[in-house]
Amino acid sequence: MKEMKPFERVWTTLNHEEPDRVPIYEGSIEPHDLTQGQPALYFQPGILHYSTDILSILTKRWSIPGRKIAFKVLNFPQIILPFIKPGFMMASKWHRNFGIDLMGFAGGFPMNLSEKVFKDYKVKDRTVFHRNGEVVTKISDNFGAVSRFGFLKSPEDYYRCMEFNPDHPANYILVRKGLEAAKGKIALYFTVYGAAYFETLCDMFGFKTLFRLLHRNKSFIKKVVKDLSDFAVAQVEHLAARGVKLFYMSSDLGGNTRLMLSPRMWRDFFQAGVTRFCRKVHSYGGKVIMHSCGNSLDLIDTLITCGIDALHPWQPYANMDIFQGKQKWGDKLTLIGNVSIELLSQEGKTHEVVEYVKKLMKEVKPGGGYILSSSHSLVPTVKWKNAVAMWWAAKKYGKY
């Protein structure tokens, strides 16, 4: 078979047809022995799109004039257009060097937060504090665990801090130049903010506040979901008009053994919005890729009904058996995963990685509908030579 370009390879697979070989994907590439522990290569979570490092600057009083200038510049995206292709080439370097076919990309800077955020929150020692003194986000060290408690503590916080503006040009400043830079080199999916709801709500409110609101203020949560849904659908329209075909939503739904909320609760609050989003994408001839860590088996039939085209990452340690998944849903859903982080990490042996990839190629590859990746992303603990072995084996044994 003639060698395919990355986008064609991914698209053929999503259509449950056999390409020239199994496509390869990674969410991020961060092994210590590749990055040598450079903090600059890691994103330190803060508040939605703002890292703790950025917030520590933007929340200072002396930054107000510069902040105002920066937000005015966002109204004129043409100013940064010359920098997009060089930025993309740098960001995609390792993906392109190792023949990875699919990569995530952002359309721009989602305009959904009020400038009041910079007045209400303070940062000290990479810990973000709410104006009432409560901890919002705490990072233990440069590469350690992150504790998130939600930056919104009440409906009043929501109305004060969230402002959705899907028509602002900053939302889409990277799209056309990104697609142009990627053409023929790698397939890009574009993350759509707000499309999957549950994880976004967890980031906003934290688990404690969110589950209290889910039980005690259902009308408010449905209002928030409606706002997010409107914003996500509007983003689809803008992205599709600029040539995007692959759309991505992220919502971790499960722990290692089961869902974090009941299937009934998910259906009551979120199914209609996800269905609306998928229908809008499909109306433009696009595909929807969903990321959901943990065990989501009890919702897969529902997700397929909603219109999800592909599900990542099928984690073995969360009892997500990709081999059973292939038998049960392989003709309806593209499966993305599932070489475990544990196998790829320091205790894993290279030959074990190769043997597991060979098994995936034998049992999950046939008929298309499978994209190989780790069971999440190449986190700092992954051994670089194991990652290279995974990609080598996928190319050697993944041919159709």
Q: What DSSP letter does each residue of 29-98 carry, written as one string?
A: B--HHHHTT-GGGS----BTTB-HHHHHHHTSGGGHHHHHHHHHHTT-GGGTHHHHHHHHHHHTHHHHHT
- Across all residues in the chain, what is the average pLDDT? 92
- The answer to whether position 54 is within a domain reads no
Q: 71 near 163, Cβ under 8 Å?
A: no
Is 260 part of any domain? yes
Dihedral angle of Cα 27, 30, 34, 38, to the nearest 10 degrees: 140
pLDDT of residue 35: 62
**Number of structural domains, the chain?**
1
Q: Can you give the pLDDT at residue 37?
A: 55
Residue 56 lies in a domain: no
**Taking the mean position of all CA atoms in its chain, how far away is CA 200?**
11
pLDDT, residue 144, reads 52
Alpha-carbon torsion, ordered 41, 44, 49, 53, to 10 deg:
-90
Higher pLDDT, 7 or 49: 7
**Is 118 inside any structural domain?**
no
- Look at residue 92 and tell me whether its pLDDT is greater than 50: yes
Is 159 inside a domain boundary? yes
pLDDT in tens, 144-189: 557 789 999 999 999 999 999 999 999 999 999 999 999 999 999 9
Cα–Cα distance list, 107 to 103, 237, 244, 265 (Å): 13, 12, 9, 31
At 199, phi and psi to the nearest 5? -65, -35
pLDDT of residue 47: 92
Q: Which band of pLDDT confidence, cut at 50, 70 and 90, is reported for residue 143?
A: low
Compare 143 and 7 and report the one with higher pLDDT. 7
Assigned domain for 298 exists: yes
Q: Does 63 reside within a domain?
A: no
Q: Which residue has the tokens 């109306």?
A: 283
Across the range 303-320, mean pLDDT stands at: 97
- Mean pLDDT, to the nearest integer, of 70-93? 85
Alpha carbon 164 to chain centroid, angstroms: 20
The answer, yes or no, to whether residue 40 has pLDDT greater than 50, is: no
**Across 57-66, 70-79, 108-117, least confident range:** 70-79
258 CB neighbour count, 10 Å cutoff: 17
Q: Among 17-26, 37-46, 135-144, 187-196, which is the least confidently predicted range?
A: 37-46
> What domain range includes position 297?
6-40+81-109+152-397
The CATH number that applies at residue 17 is 3.20.20.210
User: Quick one: which H or E segment has residue 363?
Assistant: helix 350-363
Helix (H, G, I), strand (E, B) or coil at 290: strand
Look at residue 192 and give its three-state secondary structure. coil
Q: For residue 53, is it within any domain?
A: no
Asked which of 4-18, 25-39, 223-237, 299-313 is least confident by mean pLDDT, the reply is: 25-39
* Residue 380's pLDDT band (cuts 50, 70, 90): confident
Query: Strand (E) positions, 181-256?
Result: 187-191, 246-250
Tens-digit pLDDT profile for residues 338-358: 999 999 997 789 999 999 999
pLDDT of residue 223: 97
